[in-house]
Amino acid sequence: MSSKDALQPLRWAIPAALLVGVLAAMVPSARGEWGAAPDLPTCRSELTAAVLDGRIYALAGLGTFGARRTVEVFDPSRNAWRAAAPLPAALHHTAAAAVGGRLYVAGGYKGFGFSDAQKTVWAYDPDRDQWERRADMPWARAAHAMVRVGGMLYVVGGVGSANRELWRYDPVADRWASSLAPLPTEREHLAAAALKGRLYVVGGRWSGRGNLGTLEAYDPADNRWHSLPAMPTPRGGLTAGALGGRLHVTGGEAFSPGRTFAQHDAFDPGTASWSTLAPLPTARHGLASVMLNGRWYVIGGGEAAGMRTLLTLTCAVEVFRP
């Protein structure tokens, strides 16, 4: 065979390889992809976030010098952040959700320490840019979650009295109900989200049991909890949200050894199975997240575990697109 004949296959192989590469770049990855939004103006960890009127609100949290009253609002149409009226109290490890045109913030630790958990509830009126006090939760809670399901808000998990109790808040009546089925697995620094009319609770930690991968779902229709396959990587200080019919979970921390996670897992209720997706670009814990316009915005946090978070605060806002 001549050298010319030997090179014949390469003449076709090289263009074919280039074509495959181009086509692969044009097709979105099955694992999704991450991009970046403008940084959070005030770097903080142990913050909370919610969507109201198509805008993202990042609220409270721990800064280098303690708890923050800070409220900052991201408008996707302007691709920019602005300041809003600060919270009436400096809080961290609090929880937020929106319903009925108002933004609600419930509980959390007041000040710099981790002993003064609150039961206060504040409601924000975006038209007046003002906060007002609403009915207190039944007991104090911190490192908990609050999620809207239908027209109600549910508070689950956390540190405080009666920590397995599930509470439901009616924003019209300004009234809390506590006679609901209790959370089967007590935990704090958990994550929660609403998906297909159910409240999903995932991960977290508890003294004596360490980090948890436990996944449980509450159905308001029959007031029952359902046990589901555990998350692949147990961790606390994580965040979760519902996108594309699946529960997405990312971030978090472990103490022994001390580390933070970039792991990104998704649970499909239809198949009752987990899959691993593109990892979070910045591993962190104490982060917040929201779903908006088919995107998952992951906001702030600390890049090192435990109290070292105060030396590694991030302003990063990273956005996942499936």
In angstroms, rounded to a whole number, what is the distance separating the alpha carbons of residues 228 and 233? 15
Task: Answer whether 234's CB lies under 8 Å from 228's CB.
Answer: no
Could you give the 3-state DSSP secondary structure of residue 24? helix
DSSP string, 93-113: S-EEEEETTEEEEE--EESSS
Q: Is the pLDDT of residue 55 over 80?
A: yes
At residue 23, the pLDDT reads 34
Give yes or no for a contact between 105 and 95, defined as CB atoms under 8 angstroms apart: yes
- pLDDT, averaged across the chain: 92
Is residue 311 pLDDT above 90, yes or no? yes
The candidate with the shortest Cα–Cα distance to 191, out of 182, 180, 204, 208, is 204
Mean pLDDT of 283-302: 98
- pLDDT confidence tier of residue 19, bands split at 50, 70 and 90: very low
Answer whether residue 287 shows pLDDT above 70: yes
Helix or strand (DSSP H, E) at 68 = none
Q: Give alpha helix (H) positions in the chain.
A: 3-6, 8-26
Dmax over CA atoms of the chain, in Å, equals 88
pLDDT tens track for 151-183:
999 999 999 999 999 999 999 999 999 999 999
Burial class (CB in 10 A: 0-12, 13-18, 19+), 287: buried
Give me the phi and psi of 220, to 5 degrees please. Answer: -60, -25
pLDDT score, position 256: 83
Predicted pLDDT at 9: 44
Residue 18 pLDDT exceeds 50 = no
The pLDDT of residue 12 is above 60:
no
Residue 38 confidence (pLDDT) above 60: yes
**Domains of the chain, with CATH numbers?**
35-321 (2.120.10.80)
Tell me the three state secondary structure of residue 151: coil
Contacts of 87 (CB under 8 A, 6+ apart): 59, 60, 69, 70, 71, 105, 122, 131
Given this model, what pLDDT does residue 111 score? 85
At 6 the pLDDT is 44
Per-residue model confidence (pLDDT) at position 16: 41
User: How many CA atoms does the CB half-sphere of 310 hold within 13 Å?
Assistant: 10
Instruction: Grade residue 129 by pLDDT with cuts at 50, 70 and 90.
Output: very high
Given the DSSP bridges, would you call strands 145-149 and 152-156 parallel, antiparallel or unpaired? antiparallel
pLDDT at 13: 43
**Residue 191 burial (CB count, 10 A):** 28
Residue 118 pLDDT exceeds 70: yes
Which pLDDT does position 29 carry in this prediction?
Answer: 53
Average pLDDT over residues 102-112: 95
pLDDT band at 4 (very low <50, low <70, confident <90, very high): very low
In angstroms, the CA 32 to CA 28 distance is 7
- Please give the Cα distance from 76 to 139 (Å, whole number): 36
List, for residues 238-281, the tens digit of each pLDDT value. 999 999 999 999 999 998 889 999 999 999 999 999 999 999 99
What was the pLDDT predicted at 262? Answer: 98
pLDDT at 105 over 80: yes
Answer whether residue 21 shows pLDDT above 80. no
Mean pLDDT check: name the lowest of 52-56, 62-66, 233-237, 282-286.
62-66
Q: What is the pLDDT of residue 7?
A: 41
Q: Which two tokens stand for residue 63?
A: 């800064």
- pLDDT at site 257: 86
Reply yes or no on whether the pLDDT at 96 is more than 90.
yes
Query: Residue 221 corresponds to which tokens in the numbers above?
Result: 């229709």
**Whether 313 contacts 68, CB under 8 Å:** no
Buried b (16+ CB within 10 A) or exposed e, 173-183: eeebeeebeeb
Looking at residues 187-208, what average pLDDT do you find? 97
- Per the CB < 8 A criterion, the answer to whether 125 and 155 are in contact is no
Secondary structure of residue 74 in the 3-state scheme: strand
Mean pLDDT of 49-63: 98
